[in-house]
Structure 1
């Protein structure tokens, strides 16, 4: 292994002082002429000089490292968000460490402690499902961190921490309204785990959207945001007689599409399907899936902006906590069919309590 090039090596090769090299390479104010500055940079590049980040951290008290903790890196939404957030961080000179909690509160706690102890400048946190059900424990963990923490997506109760998310309640209403506008009256729902706040928001917004026209779901299946939840729900969906299904994420929608195909049902001719996230197409799946899109680039941008404000100590960083809620968007593709507009019935039949089935 070759010897690391030091500031002294660059100074000797450039014929200037080590102090001048340090000022130029750290982009600090100096009286060094522009010609000399360019010469130092050229020499540093020729010698393959790489800054010693450990030494720089001791001087600046910043590691230029940020961390993102996700519940499930295999989830397409979290993977896509991690990629966009990494791009945002890189634009500001930061590297991003991604860690997976496995939706476990214990693992999440351990990761927070370990990452903070290793000197990251801030943590982006998508709370584990177990933490969403134990908000006080989550709050205790966050408040114990010596660096800024920004909650993303699963915002739980965020009056004590910065949070950036999508208005899930509005997204659920969008899905309901779109299906109603296309003539559907017998509509089912595959939700996420109701202990997770965004899952409850999507489901509740959807149910309220139906209730506005005196409808209720013919079936609610509680899934877990994974592919198999949608796949396993297919027989119950078919048995319910639903003409349309709202899936609370794209991954479950893709599983449902596979399950319906196995049962010989055609989408959208036999049954319509709408997902949530708008992420599947980025990975080469679900190119035709109608979905409620989360603006993932916007979510990453706003999350990074809040974090950098906290680290940089901007005037807005003095606010106790901030919650930024972004609007969803309906992405119309090919899995929702328009059917003859049937009249909306009134009375007990249309407002009957939906059957609830748990899968996954």
Structure 2
């Protein structure tokens, strides 16, 4: 294993002072001639010099490290979000550490403690479902953190710090309006976990619009699919038995499960059932490109979340207290048209 080249060695080889090398390699403003700057960079590259981040952190009081904790990295929405967040951090000169809480508060707490001990500059957190149910522990931990924290997507605990997510009520409304436009009159909704505020809001928006259009409660079937492919698959028969012609699934994965079960019955979408999904995340992985769905723009969510955190990092660096900030930014979802919604059969609206 080779020895780490020091900044002094680069300075000696380039025939300049260590301070000059530090200014150039850390991209600090200076009046150093361009020729000298290039000579320093050439020497650093030839010697394979790597900036000592620990040493720089002692001087600048920053590590340029950001932590991201997600509930389930196997969830395609969170996986795609993590990728976009990493791009945003890297563009600003920060490195991103990613960890998975498995949707458990104990794991989440341990990860937060571990990262905070590393003197990270900021934390991006999608809270676990257990923190949804009992948010006080998470709130206390965030309040005690020495660096800014921004919540993403799951904003039920956003009273203690800033959060960025999508307007899930509006997303449910968009799904309902699309199915009503196709003249459906009997509906089903497969939601996520019953105590997930995002799923509840999507279902609330969906039902509110249906009732405002005089759809009777007896014509609306509400089910819980736990956001899983198997949830949609196992509940498809209930939807068919109910006689729904329009279905709203609170994520695309459950919509895929329903479509799989219908195919096994030799039933076709949208002839047998019109379906609206949610997220539009599957399309990024080359699947369900024909699904009509409510899109949450993952790139926009990542950029806005990073902007929120970075703003507080800069405030924190200037010594201004940002711990009391409690603003919530809600982004607007939109319908992405596919081939899974069609006019209801003539007998439904004749």
**Which of 307, 323, 341 is the matching residue for 1:336?**
341
| 3-state DSSP of counterpart to 2:236 | helix
Query: Is 1:320 aligned to residue 322 of structure 2?
Result: no
**Which of 295, 298, 305 is the matching residue for 2:297?**
295
1:126 corresponds in structure 2 to 126
| 3-state DSSP of counterpart to 1:66 | strand
**Residues 59 and 295 of structure 1, relative CA distance in 2, 3 Å threshold:** same
CA contact (8 A) 2:163 2:327 kept: yes
Aligned mates of 1:341, 1:117 — CA distance in 2? 64
| 3-state DSSP of counterpart to 2:79 | helix
1:243 corresponds in structure 2 to 245
| 3-state DSSP of counterpart to 2:175 | helix
Aligned mates of 2:227, 2:276 — CA distance in 1? 14
Number of residue pairs matched by the alignment = 345
**By how many angstroms is 1:320 displaced?**
2.2
2:274 corresponds in structure 1 to 272
C-alpha offsets along residues 276-295 of structure 1, whole Å, 9 cap, x if unaligned?
00110001111111100001
**Residues 282 and 168 of structure 1, relative CA distance in 2, 3 Å threshold:** same
Deviates more, 1:320-329 or 1:24-33: 24-33
Q: Name the TM-score, length of structure 2 as normaliser.
A: 0.94
CA contact (8 A) 2:64 2:120 kept: yes
**By how many angstroms is 1:196 displaced?**
1.4
C-alpha offsets along residues 6-25 of structure 1, whole Å, 9 cap, x if unaligned?
11121121112222212221
Deviates more, 1:154-163 or 1:170-179: 154-163
CA contact (8 A) 1:25 1:41 kept: yes
**By how many angstroms is 1:33 displaced?**
2.2
- Within a 5 Å distance, the mapping from 1:1-360 to structure 2 comes to 1-215=1-215, 216=217, 218-313=220-315, 320-340=325-345
| 3-state DSSP of counterpart to 2:269 | coil
**By how many angstroms is 1:44 displaced?**
1.0
Aligned mates of 2:31, 2:75 — CA distance in 1? 52
Aligned mates of 2:2, 2:9 — CA distance in 1? 14
Which structure 1 segments of 5+ residues have no match?
346-360
Q: Name the TM-score, length of structure 1 as normaliser.
A: 0.91
**Residues 174 and 226 of structure 1, relative CA distance in 2, 3 Å threshold:** same
1:349 corresponds in structure 2 to none
**By how many angstroms is 1:340 displaced?**
4.9
CA contact (8 A) 1:290 1:336 kept: yes
Which structure 2 segments of 5+ residues have no match?
none
